């Protein structure tokens, strides 16, 4: 089993920044992909950013140029740096880690006020 602990969410004004982190623990030997998804109230969950074991990254068009995903292999942690935040970024953000199966974090609330 893999356990994911997320942190860094909170309330921020439009134009501000936040950094989310997701630390993985448990029986983890390798990661095929790590990523962040988000789900706004009344909306479906959507992909925000992903990073593979080969450090290939992918971003949703809505966050390109503003968000940056990275990882620290020694700490089994993935980060999401969010800059120039907009009210439409408000959502619950979920960490995802893929090994031989898919694991999800509990979610962390990000609220951006106008």
The answer to whether 70 touches 79, Cβ cutoff 8 Å, is yes
Residue scoring higher pLDDT (2 or 35): 35
pLDDT given at position 29:
61
pLDDT given at position 25:
87
Percent of the chain with pLDDT over 70: 97
Residue recorded with tokens 């740096």: 81
- Mean pLDDT on 81-98: 97
Span 14-65, pLDDT tens digits: 999 999 999 988 766 677 899 999 999 999 999 999 999 888 999 999 999 9
Give residue 74's pLDDT band: very low, low, confident or very high (50, 70, 90).
confident
């Amino acid at each position: 089993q893999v356990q994911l602990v997320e942190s860094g969410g909170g309330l921020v004004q439009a134009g501000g920044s936040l950094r989310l982190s997701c630390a993985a623990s448990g029986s983890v030997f390798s990661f095929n992909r790590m990523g962040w998804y988000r789900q706004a109230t009344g909306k479906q969950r959507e992909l925000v950013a992903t990073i593979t074991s080969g450090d290939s990254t992918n971003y949703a068009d809505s966050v390109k140029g503003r968000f940056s995903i990275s990882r620290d292999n020694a700490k089994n942690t993935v980060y999401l740096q969010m800059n120039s935040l907009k009210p439409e970024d408000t959502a619950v953000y979920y960490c995802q880690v893929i090994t031989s199966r898919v694991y999800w974090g509990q979610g962390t609330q990000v609220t951006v006020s106008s």
